[in-house]
A and B are shown apart, each in its own frame.
Chain A
């Protein structure tokens, strides 16, 4: 996996200033939304915080960075499309769904079948960092995203989640 090639607009200064004219703003938001999703997918990033440094939001080469307001506009646009969710009321931390929850659920089902785990039991930690997950996109998956996807599978009767004595013991029994 090589470095993500950043689009040319990332090197064009005005894209770091919120545009006042509607059409231009729409185009700008669209480009940033795509870039955020691609970037997070490439680097397996699940949470973007508005108050912490995030490399994508500044470009030292042209000496420009996004304002707090601009970041919030772009992330909110993702949220309104269902491609992200605010994790807190203050809207400072954002969960980026570069793969939608239902797509994660499908991905897990495929993973389960490929590993002959149709009736198997796994802990969440095993899914996130076990041998089977190595080399798949489940390696390092965010806990919140994983639990949401498993809950969806539970609703469909494809899995049952159970709690252990500690978070380490949280697990799931598949019935795929």
Chain B
């Protein structure tokens, strides 16, 4: 646009700018409304879907996990609140709240045995046993969701990976890299020996002894001097012992 001098020229230019802005705003509003509409439709359909498949969502953990993914994509959090449509329809907030409480129970009850560290898979199986009567299958995904809700309470629950396995920690113990490496090694046989740790990880004997001593003090390891070869073994009840179930059978009966 060629610039024209004079007052009228300036006024024209300002008026044109206003027009452009107006038009732009209109377009934006139309788009926003359209988006809103689309999102509303989508949510409606999601609700419709949830209503239709209520039972599948409740009973089938794989389905439940996919449903959560879908919800996350449109910014709906069925766990955000116990009030409102989602909770009323699915009772899903209550479901995870309940799982959370039971997870805390199990972690506390098995703590004296495993030092507050438990394999996710074992936690899941204890949880399932305890909820036998409700006949709803529980997946690891469900456990992780429930635990992430617990985090909001600042209760110090944490899930971390050691080797191929996921462990749930319910005590504030900070495990360092050395400890994790020992735990990973223990996954093979359930125990490690000091010499073996030194050799496999190329550690000094002091470093291995320190790490093992800490694990022992934290209640995560148990010593075993009974092997005929006379070498001390360090066992880790939190790993692959599937002991907690039997040790704390009484806990299971406390639940519903």
List chain A positions with a Cβ less than 8 A from chain B.
7-9, 12-17, 19-21, 23-24, 26-27, 31, 63-65
A-B contact count (CB 8 A): 59
Cα(A19)–Cα(B217), bound, Å: 11
**Cβ-based interface call for B144 (8 A):** no
Cα(A21)–Cα(B215), bound, Å: 11
Cα(A141)–Cα(B136), bound, Å: 48
11 contacts across the A-B interface (CB closer than 8 A): A8-B247, A13-B226, A13-B233, A13-B235, A19-B222, A20-B216, A20-B223, A24-B222, A27-B112, A27-B113, A65-B226
**Cβ-based interface call for B246 (8 A):** yes
| Contact B245 A8, beta carbon cutoff 8 Å | yes
Beyond A8-B246, A16-B226, A19-B223, 10 extra complex contacts between A and B, CB < 8 Å: A7-B247, A9-B243, A12-B237, A13-B227, A14-B233, A17-B223, A20-B216, A23-B112, A27-B112, A64-B224
Cα(A26)–Cα(B233), bound, Å: 20
We find that the number of chain B residues with CB closer than 8 angstroms to chain A is 23
| Contact A7 B246, beta carbon cutoff 8 Å | yes
Q: How far, in Å, is B88 (CB) from chain A's closest CB?
A: 43
**Which residues of the other chain, B, contact A65 by a CB distance below 8 angstroms?**
226
Q: How far, in Å, is B160 (CB) from chain A's closest CB?
A: 22
Closest to A6 in B: B246
| Contact B219 A23, beta carbon cutoff 8 Å | yes
Contact of A16 (CB < 8 Å), options: B112, B191, B224: B224
Closest to A10 in B: B246
Closest to A66 in B: B226
**Which residues of the other chain, B, contact A12 by a CB distance below 8 angstroms?**
235, 237, 241, 243
List chain B positions with a Cβ less than 8 A from chain A.
112-113, 115, 191, 216-217, 219, 222-228, 233, 235, 237, 241-243, 245-247
Closest to A63 in B: B228
Interface centre among A9, A13, A15, A19 (most CB of B within 10 A): A13
- A8-B242 CB under 8 A given contacts A17-B225, A20-B223, A63-B227: yes
**Which residues of the other chain, A, contact B115 by a CB distance below 8 angstroms?**
24
| Contact A9 B247, beta carbon cutoff 8 Å | yes
Q: How far, in Å, is A48 (CB) from chain B's closest CB?
A: 20
**Which residues of the other chain, B, contact A63 by a CB distance below 8 angstroms?**
226-228
Cα(A14)–Cα(B238), bound, Å: 13
- A31-B216 CB under 8 A given contacts A13-B233, A23-B112: no
Q: How far, in Å, is A71 (CB) from chain B's closest CB?
A: 13
Cα(A7)–Cα(B243), bound, Å: 9
**Which residues of the other chain, B, contact A21 by a CB distance below 8 angstroms?**
216-217, 219
Q: How far, in Å, is A23 (CB) from chain B's closest CB?
A: 5
Cα(A12)–Cα(B114), bound, Å: 13
Closest to B247 in A: A9
Q: How far, in Å, is B230 (CB) from chain A's closest CB?
A: 12
Cα(A15)–Cα(B233), bound, Å: 12
**Which residues of the other chain, B, contact A27 by a CB distance below 8 angstroms?**
112-113
Cα(A63)–Cα(B228), bound, Å: 8
Closest to B228 in A: A63
| Contact B216 A17, beta carbon cutoff 8 Å | no
| Contact A26 B227, beta carbon cutoff 8 Å | no
Closest to A65 in B: B226
**Which residues of the other chain, B, contact A17 by a CB distance below 8 angstroms?**
222-226
Q: How far, in Å, is A66 (CB) from chain B's closest CB?
A: 9
